[in-house]
Amino acid sequence: MYRMFLHSKIRDVRITGVNLEYEGSITIDKNYLDKSGILPDEEVHVLNVNTGTRLITYVIEGEAGSGIMELNGPAARLGMVGDRIMVLTYAMLTPEEIGKHKPVIISIGDEQFCGKKCSIPISD
């Protein structure tokens, strides 16, 4: 029998944009996807800490280093720019896999808005 377990989580991140005129999904910075192991087109659960809403959608890969975390299409109605969210994926595991499984959990925090700003050299 397979059982469902947390596979990966991106936490401490904020919505950077909402785009109602799109078919649907969430656009996520490629760097966050790489760190968490989440793949483009993968199903994700998006939990809005500010509103308590939870939605299921799929991932679109955003520009690396952009900090983008954008709700698209109908999902755009479930969050506002600045809302704190978590993005989760799950995996179905066999009893043999359960004991060895370790979910990947990354915390973004201030890194989200550092990106390009922090790469600008500071002049004297």
| Domains along the sequence of the chain with CATH | 3-118 (2.40.40.20)
Phi, psi of 116 (to 5 degrees): -70, -35
Of the listed 2, 22, 58, 66, which one is catalytic? 58
The 10 Å Cβ neighbour count of residue 34 is 13
Q: Could you read off the pLDDT of 71-102 as tens digits, one per residue?
A: 999 999 999 999 999 999 999 999 999 999 99
At 112 the three-state DSSP class reads helix
pLDDT above 60 (res 119)? no
Burial group, residue 108, by CB count within 10 angstroms (0-12, 13-18, 19+): buried
Residue 23, pLDDT score: 78
Of the listed 8, 25, 36, 66, which one is catalytic? 25
Q: What is the DSSP letter of 8?
A: E
**Residue 58 a catalytic site member:** yes
